[in-house]
Structure 1
Amino acid sequence: MRRGTAAGRRDSAPKGGRESGIYAALDLGTNNCRLMIATFSNSQFKIVEAFSRIVRLGEGLAHSGRLHDRAMERAMKALKICAEKIEKRGAAQVRAVATQACRIARNGRDFIARVERETGLKLTIISPEEEAHLSVMGCASLLDGRDLDPIARAALVMDVGGGSTELSWVELAQGGAGEGDGSQLDAQQRTLRMSRHMPRPRHWISLPVGVVNLAERFPEPETGDPEAWFETMVDDVTQRLGNFSAADGLRPHFAAGEAYIVGTSGAITSLAGMHLGLDRYDRSQVDGLWMEHRHCRTVIDKLLQLGRSGRELEPCIGRDRADLVLAGAAILEAVQRQWPCTRLRVADRGLREGLLLSMARKKTRRRRRGRSKGPA
């Protein structure tokens, strides 16, 4: 388990040498491969293309300690598509990162080298701390509780991945860190704005548990009590989180109803889609949605009753997530019990948006330094 408080760090330099207003952010996770390409002008991003594919790179990793051949082949196919899209769009600023699966696999760095040889993509394995900070940056516009009653003073951003879960506690100055202090994403216009001041976690922790390795360690039983199976997963996550006390200074905000959770993961967005009763997943309706703990429990109870075959038929879950969604729900339930609060805000955004913003901030800093030096 990795933990810490906010500390200074330097982002890795963006790749590419061409002058262009087109940026690309690629996130190779334990379960998903995600790409976002955007134009940048007047301190604002406009998303021009997004790609996401479930590759399960970390399948079997918890048992063997290695990336399996089939998993690497699935990931390579998705990465080749990403490389083609980046080349076609002419992106000059590219940042591609890998997370937990490549961090812990004995052959993770060998796979990274293979990716560069076969696709030209230069993946950087980022630390859990940087992953947590980038996720908070990507969710910045959801960190605003000024319109809530009572006003929110703190938020807990949880990024549930395939192999790890990053939790970041953010103190909301004067009840918000959103539009007036950070970025804003317009779901209709698909824009992402860059600000000089971005929220940073006050405390963070990385749990080595995500939807893939949790589901593999606790396979769904064909018979018996599904609720008991679910509670076993919840208990496992609770034990991992229970010893973390660095953020206890923010507990009074949670006890007073002045805090909420921001959840970013495919499992959580799937819960939201089911809560809304969508016939097909619709990001514009899910991203930024407010839910209550009781809403989450209602959906979880329904998922347990459906069984895997029934979940496969749900339009916001499907076959790819049918065996993983309840593992993600168990992680959410464990966090909600450890940090009780009524409100959950659903985020269909996170690391990719954070990568885009980090590149833009670095370029802006370079321009400011250049202007401050003046003519030679």
Structure 2
Amino acid sequence: MRDPTRRMIAAIDCGTNTIKLLIGDLPEVAVRETRMVRLGQGVDATGRLADDALARAFAAIDDYAVLIAAHPVTRLRFCATSATRDSANAQEFAEGVHARLGVWPEVLTGEEEAALSYDGAVRNLRAPLTGRVLVVDIGGGSTELILGAGAPEAAYSMDVGSVRLHERRLHSDPATAAEVAACVADIDAALDAARAAGVDLGSADAVVGVAGTVTSVAAGVLDLPAYSVEAVDQTELPVAEVHAFVARLVAMPVAERLALPWMHPGRADVIDAGALVLDRVLRRTRVPTLVVSEADILDGIAWSISG
């Protein structure tokens, strides 16, 4: 039971596709919210945050401000990732956040993002994994790869994610074989760069996947009748089943994906690219199963200001 004399923290993770909020006195969580705002809409092509994307993000932040005000929050950390790293008008976004929440967003480097993702994912595990653990965090604009045994030892942030790659390569519904091949080539080039930077996926003894692309793929492999955090969190999926489901998912038109009972409508159009990232990462490992964690960078941000 939470000690009523302790004060709460609030953490916000603002990515390319989602904005997430966690309020709590850790390890207890009072509020966990996710809004699909597609802040990174068009950033890969234009280098700017679109006006309508900013409007969607600010509407979500207004709602979060109300939730934060309703709890005894004493510390708030707002972290922004790939879309704001890459946008020319990031200051406009930062000023809007400050006006609504009274804090300035921290634009994380790829290395900072990787460390927080690793901590959030690994701290959540009920049964700690032995050996070297690879944490894979597939976002809308970037993918973080973090290797470590108890703590991060090597990390690499790839500029490939579900929104960025879908907008760049997958223009048909469903994507053509040529489009998929071009997308895979981009992913493989990024993975080659990761290996050159010291992140050897083949050395991992276990793989933990986090964030919405991975959890959605897990729901599909499990064939859930509706999305269930309890069913997805810390499930172990045979890698062969993940590969088979990704192939099916990429071949589906968006309307068919929207009809899947566990699919969030804000993810259905871009999950093909994100699923391909997961597929290509797993093909470079030697693990037989994928561990899926509902805890991710948001939890890492929260723990960084708790205590």
Matches within 5 A, 1:311-326: 311-326=257-272
Q: Is the 8 A contact 2:165 2:183 kept in 1?
A: yes
Q: How many residues align?
A: 302
1:116 aligns with 2:98: yes
Q: Separation in 2 of the partners of 1:248 and 1:36?
A: 30
What do the CA deviations read for 1:128-183 (whole angstroms, capped 9, x no partner)? 11111011110124668778xxxx41111011111111110112xxxxxxxxxxxx
1:248-269 deviation digits (Å, cap 9, x = unpaired): 6774x45xxxx12111121111
Alignment partner of 1:203 is 2:181:
no
1:301 equivalent among 233, 247, 261: 247
Please name the residue that 1:155 is paired with: 133
What is the letter of the counterpart of residue 281 of structure 1? Y
Q: Is the contact between residue 212 and residue 324 of structure 1 (CA under 8 Å) also seen in structure 2?
A: yes
In 2, the alpha carbon distance for the partners of 1:298 and 1:338 equals 16
Name the structure 1 match of 2:229.
283
Contact persistence 2:133–2:147 (CA under 8 A): yes
Find the residue that maps to 1:319 and give its secondary structure: coil
The structure number with the bigger radius of gyration is 1
Deviation at 1:20, TM superposition (A): 4.3
The alpha-carbon deviation at position 117 of structure 1 amounts to 1.7
The answer to whether the Cα contact below 8 Å between 1:20 and 1:91 also exists between their aligned partners in 2 is no
Pairing partner for 1:268 from 211, 214, 229 = 214
In structure 2, the residue matched to 1:344 is: 290
- Compute the RMSD of aligned alpha carbons: 2.1
Q: Distance in 1 between matches of 2:211 and 2:201?
A: 24
TM-score where L is the length of structure 2: 0.91
Q: Which amino acid aligns with 1:276?
A: L
In the TM superposition, what is the alpha-carbon distance from 1:295 to its structure 2 partner? 1.1
- Confirm or deny that 1:138 pairs with 2:84: no
Relative distance call for 1:249 and 1:302 in structure 2 (3 A) is closer
Report if the CA contact (8 A) 2:134-2:201 is conserved. no
Q: Which residue of 2 aligns with 1:60?
A: 42
Q: Could you list the per-position Cα deviations for residues 67-123 of structure 1 after superposition, in whole angstroms to 9, with x for gaps in the alignment? A: 000000000000111111111112112111111111110111221012212443432
Structure 1 CA distance, aligned partners of 2:8 and 2:101?
19
Report the secondary structure of 2:252's partner residue: helix
The residue type equivalent to 2:169 in the other structure is F
Cα deviations by residue, 1:302-328 (Å, 9 ceiling, x for unpaired): 213432110011122242111111111
Which residue of the partner structure matches residue 281 of structure 2? 335
Counterpart secondary structure, 1:92: strand
CA distance in 1, matches of 2:116, 2:215: 19
- Mapped to 1, the partners of 2:36 and 2:253 lie a distance apart of 21
Q: Within 2, Cα distance between the matches of 1:207 and 1:39? A: 33
Question: 1:234, 1:333 within 8 Å by CA — same for their partners in 2?
Answer: no
After TM superposition, the runs of 4+ consecutive aligned structure 1 residues lying more than 4 A away are 142-147, 225-228
Query: Where does 1:35-114 land on structure 2 (aligned, <5 Å)?
Result: 35-40=21-26, 45-114=27-96
Match of 2:144 among 151, 162, 166: 166
1:22–1:38 CA contact under 8 A, matched in 2: yes
Between 1:322-331 and 1:303-312, the stretch displaced more is 303-312
* Aligned partner (choices 146, 166, 191) of residue 241 of structure 1: 191
Alpha-carbon distance between aligned partners in 1 of 2:15 and 2:153, rounded to the nearest angstrom? 24
| Structure 1 residue 222 displacement after superposition | 3.9
**Unaligned regions of 5+ residues in structure 2, if any?**
none
Q: Which amino acid aligns with 1:155?
A: V
1:33 aligns with 2:11: no
Instruction: Rate the CA distance shift 1:307–1:332 in 2: closer, same or farther, 3 A.
Output: same
Contact 1:311 1:318 in 2 (8 A): no
Query: Retained in 1: the 8 A contact 2:170–2:183?
Result: no
Given residue 260 of structure 1, which amino acid in structure 2 is its aligned partner? A
- Cα distance change of structure 1 residues 222 and 351 upon mapping to structure 2, 3 Å threshold: closer
Check conservation: 1:242, 1:338, Cα contact below 8 A: no
Identity %: 30
* Unmatched segments (≥5 aa) in structure 1: 1-18, 172-198, 364-376
Any conservation in 2 of the 1:83–1:120 contact (CA below 8 Å)? no
